[in-house]
A = this chain, B = another copy of it.
Amino acid sequence: MSQTHRVLSEHVYNSAVALMEQRGVTVDSIAEIVVFLQEKYVPNLTKEKAVESVHSVLNKREVQNALLTGIQMDILAEKGQLLSPLQEMIDSDESLYGVDEVLSLAIVNLYGSIGFTNYGYVDKLKYGILERLNDKRYGVHTFLDDLVGAIAAAASSRIAHRHRAEEEKAVLATGQV
């Protein structure tokens, strides 16, 4: 293993989460979107469970890569350091620029297709932290707002899969009595 070519996984994880927090997004604020999305389907869903699920999503290398790349673009656009016309497209969250959605979908995909509709739904509603990220007065968050929606949708899918497993265990336990 060549040390010059590789970065340690822990460093990638820490950097991605730190960058996200510097840009104003906490794990807690994403967990709030998860609770909003899932509370009608998972009646006993606690904020703690949502936080744990968001952490698990953030642990995936693909998610870290998307965050590092997307936030880097947001920062450069904020500083006006991108080439034209990319600069103008990201700065204004141009409606025909869809690379942010492409990165987001790759996150959702990691937890299967049941998360697609949740992703689209929160993106339209701009729930919670997403409203602030969409307010241009607080900087350029063209990528980050979509990535946060995707992480919330992915964490929701994960909860849905796990909730089913728990329900089944309960049913089987009852059946065995």
Residues of A within 8 A of B (CB): 1, 3-12, 15, 19, 41, 60-62, 65-66, 68-69, 72-73, 75-76, 82-86, 88-89, 92, 94-99, 101-106, 109-114, 116-121, 123-124, 160-161, 164-165, 167-168, 170-172
Which residue of chain B has the shortest Cβ distance to A153 in the bound complex? Answer: B120
A68: chain B residues at CB < 8 Å are 83, 85-86, 89
Give Cα A28–Cα B96 distance, bound, in whole angstroms.
26
Give Cα A73–Cα B110 distance, bound, in whole angstroms.
24
Main secondary structure of the interface of A (DSSP, over half): helix
Please pick, from B3, B105, B113, B171, the residue contacting A1 in the complex, using a CB distance under 8 A.
B171
A73: chain B residues at CB < 8 Å are 69
CB-based contact B116/A118 at 8 Å? no
Give the Cβ gap from A68 to chain B, nearest Cβ, in Å: 4
A-B contact pairs, 19 of them (CB 8 A): A1-B167, A6-B164, A7-B89, A9-B165, A12-B89, A61-B96, A62-B98, A62-B112, A65-B98, A69-B99, A95-B164, A96-B114, A99-B103, A101-B114, A104-B116, A106-B113, A116-B116, A119-B120, A120-B120
